[in-house]
Structure 1
Amino acid sequence: MSCQISEERINKTIAFHGHSCPGLAIGIRAAELALQKFGNPSDKEIVAVVETDMCGVDAIQFLTGATMGKGNLIHRDYGKMAFSFFHKVTGEGFRAVLNPAARSDMDEEMSELSKKNSTGNATEDEIKRLGDLRSAAQTRLMTLPLAEMFVVTELQQGAPRPARVLQSLVCEHCGEKTMESRTRRFAGQTLCIPCFGKVEQKI
């Protein structure tokens, strides 16, 4: 079944992100899955955990209302096309991983053409072919049934705990205040992470 989010909302999502692309389509469908499963929760009831920093994260933020500033959009830098959602009230949770078959067999050719295009070595025909492939991939991702789009696993552990407000400490090297949990100790000094990285070689 094609995406059930209204065309108006999709267009607003595209405007929020800045362009339309296959990556954004993946995020739109992931958000659609969460909204369907949880019955359109409010932005304070949902928690989203994303394992990528790709375009689709903007769609999840826009469509679910989860944001980093509210503490209910959490980024885990795993480089996976995987998204977990939790409903704070009901305790429900699930993890959705993009099914590799959802992207059909276009990925390898798209990847090669994208590399050539980014280095300025693609011909006009190759640039056109890349555009056609991206358009076809986007159409496929927006029309696949959600059951074919994602591999879904129900989660039992509940949503990640809310962020805590902690004391700020002054970095003894740069003098900038830093959240306590983000400081490091080195040679008897309290340092922020960037300053710690300048003196500690094993990171």
Structure 2
Amino acid sequence: MSCSIPQELIEQCIAFHGHSCPGLSIGIRAAEYAQARLNQDGDAVLVCVTETDMCGVDAIQFLTDCTVGKGNMIHRDYGKMAFSFFDRRTGAGVRLLLRPEARQDIDAALAPRQRAIRAGQATAEDEAAAAALRAQLQDRLMTLPLEELFAVQSLEDGLPRPAAILASLVCAACGEQTMESRTRRFGGQTLCIPCFNAREQKI
């Protein structure tokens, strides 16, 4: 079953991200699932917790209106291809984890060619093969049934708290205003994280 998002909207999403790629396709399909599962009436206030910072996050921001700036997109740097979505009205949530088998063995064929490209040692044949494999993977990601693409876990709790406006404190070292929750105490002084890291020798 192909992606149900209109092609025109997908093209707009690609333009927002800057290019079309397999990673963006994963985010498009995750957004598709979230909208179908949690936003059936169109009135959901969606929150996304992403466990990766890869290309697909742009698709989720564009298609679901979950953004870092609004506080309803939260990045947890776990390095997993996983996205949790919540409806803030009801607390209902779902976690999507990309199934390894969704990529088949395409990655194994693509990886050595990508390494050669990054090292500047790729031949024209390598580059053409890599482009064909990326297109093949992207097509697969955009056409697989969602239940074959993602392992799905229903979430009964874990809805993040709404974003809060916190006080700003002045860093004693650089003098810059810093959100209170991002300051550190060192030697009796309030420091921003970069200044704290510069003084704390164990980091």
Deviation at 1:108, TM superposition (A): 2.0
Asked whether the equivalents of residues 43 and 64 of structure 1 are also in contact (C-alpha less than 8 Å), the reply is: no
Matched AA of 1:102: A
SS of the residue 2:94 aligns to: strand
Matched AA of 2:64: T
Matched AA of 1:197: N
* RMSD over equivalenced CA pairs, Å: 1.3
Size of the aligned set, in residue pairs, is 203
Question: Quick one: distance in 1 between partners of 2:60 and 2:74?
Answer: 11
Question: Quick one: distance in 1 between partners of 2:40 and 2:135?
Answer: 29
The within-5 A match list for 1:25-104 is 25-40=25-40, 45-104=45-104
Asked whether the equivalents of residues 44 and 87 of structure 2 are also in contact (C-alpha less than 8 Å), the reply is: no
Question: Quick one: distance in 2 between partners of 1:99 and 1:116?
Answer: 27
Residue in 1 that maps onto 2:148: 148
% identical equivalent positions: 60
Structure 2, gaps ≥5 residues long = none
Residue in 2 that maps onto 1:160: 160
TM-score normalized by the length of structure 1:
0.97
Residue in 2 that maps onto 1:12: 12
* Runs of 4+, deviation exceeding 3 Å: 40-44
Question: Quick one: distance in 1 between partners of 2:67 and 2:163?
Answer: 13
Question: Quick one: distance in 1 between partners of 2:16 and 2:38?
Answer: 24
Structure 1, gaps ≥5 residues long = none
Deviation at 1:43, TM superposition (A): 8.3
The worse-fitting range, judged by mean Cα deviation, of 111-120 and 140-149 is 111-120
The within-5 A match list for 1:111-190 is 111-190=111-190
The worse-fitting range, judged by mean Cα deviation, of 73-82 and 39-48 is 39-48
Asked whether the equivalents of residues 43 and 66 of structure 1 are also in contact (C-alpha less than 8 Å), the reply is: no
